[in-house]
Amino acid sequence: MTENSSKAQHGQGRTCVITRRACFSSSHRYWLPEFSADDNSAYFGACALAPGHGHNYELIVSMAGDLDRDGMVLNLSEVKRSISNEVTDQLDFRFLNDAWPEFDINKADGCLPTTEALVRIIWNRLQPHLPIIALRLYEHPRLWADYLGNAMDAYVTIRAHFAAAHRLAKEELSQEENEKIYGKCARPNGHGHNYLVDVTVRGSINARTGMVCDLSALQFLVDDLIVETFDHTNLNKDIPYFSSCVPTAENIALHIADLLTKPIKAMGANLHKIRLQESPNNAAEVYAELPQLNAIPEMLETMETNYKRA
């Protein structure tokens, strides 16, 4: 073997994860024939309105495999072609309810094309062609679903925002000691952040509604318990929990997890994760279900998308 040919095969056989992004625009409508018009609108709100509405979807596809002699897990042109043939060419500029038979609600096993139902069907259609290990589908910047190939189990994340002030300091310490620990964050009059909070729930996709849980109820819960409570407050002074607990990003994320775990359980889903982003430069994550379950793969979190640029 020449030196050149051994160099050409550097890495061959070693495992690697690759990620590919694809976009499509589609419309859909949430409406079930077995419900009355009133029940459809009570259940699905504005999503039940005829003739439907649309989203610019972003799909993140993670694949794993061993490097070939050309230094690739897969040929990216083939990856692109498979995603186009199996997904985007079939869905782009289409009405999802009509695009695939899985979403034909006039059939007994038809299911509404929610984000979580759609990402699962995309998995089923891509899996024969690509070594996928995880999929994420963004419906918009504040709603996305992850699917890891586990039967009807899916993850849905909603993003909320609140603005709040805080000061990082322990009451029992002097100003000097606090500044040694918390730096500028211990300055006496506090400072503020625009917090982004991502609430991830895990649950079983309902075979008919396509939903892991009632999304508008989840949104109401997060608005009511988190946004309304924390927005435009001084966390140290206005939130009793933080009168005795330093409101670091980590502690705020933990407190949010504690506030949401039970009510989400009561809705029939499980709080999986809270991710609290304090600034473009720092965030804290709390896994409410660990160690029983594996976390959502990191490559889905780090992929830069139109929707998740820092």
For residue 116, the minimal CB distance to Zn ion (Å) is 12
Q: Which residues contact 102 (CB under 8 A, 6 or more apart)?
A: 110, 111, 117, 121
**Closest among 54, 61, 113 to 86, alpha carbons compared:** 61
For residue 74, the minimal CB distance to Zn ion (Å) is 32
Size of the site for Zn ion (CB under 5 A): 1
170-199 residues in contact with Zn ion (CB under 5 A) are 185
Alpha carbon distance 104, 97 (integer Å): 6
For residue 145, the minimal CB distance to Zn ion (Å) is 12
Of the candidates 129, 185, 245, 301, the residue annotated as catalytic is 185
b/e for 198-234, b at 16 or more Cβ within 10 A? bbbbbbbbbeebbbbbbbeebbebbeeebbeebeebb
Of the candidates 58, 86, 102, 278, the residue annotated as catalytic is 278
Of the candidates 53, 161, 191, 232, the residue annotated as catalytic is 232
Cα separation values, 212 from 33, 40, 116, 244, Å: 20, 17, 7, 36
For residue 238, the minimal CB distance to Zn ion (Å) is 15
R_g over Cα of the chain: 23
Q: Look up residue 173 and give its two tokens.
A: 């310490």
- Select 9 or 56, whichever has its Cβ closest to Zn ion: 56
- Select 110 or 210, whichever has its Cβ closest to Zn ion: 210
Report residue 57 CA to chain centroid gap.
Answer: 13
- Select 73 or 213, whichever has its Cβ closest to Zn ion: 213
The residue sitting closest to Zn ion, measured at its beta carbon, is 185
3-state secondary structure of 192: strand
Q: CB of 276 within 8 A of CB of 195? A: yes
**Closest among 17, 60, 57 to 300, alpha carbons compared:** 60
For residue 144, the minimal CB distance to Zn ion (Å) is 13
34 is catalytic: no
278 is catalytic: yes
Among all residues, which ones are annotated catalytic? 185, 232, 278
Positions touching Zn ion (CB under 5 A) are 185
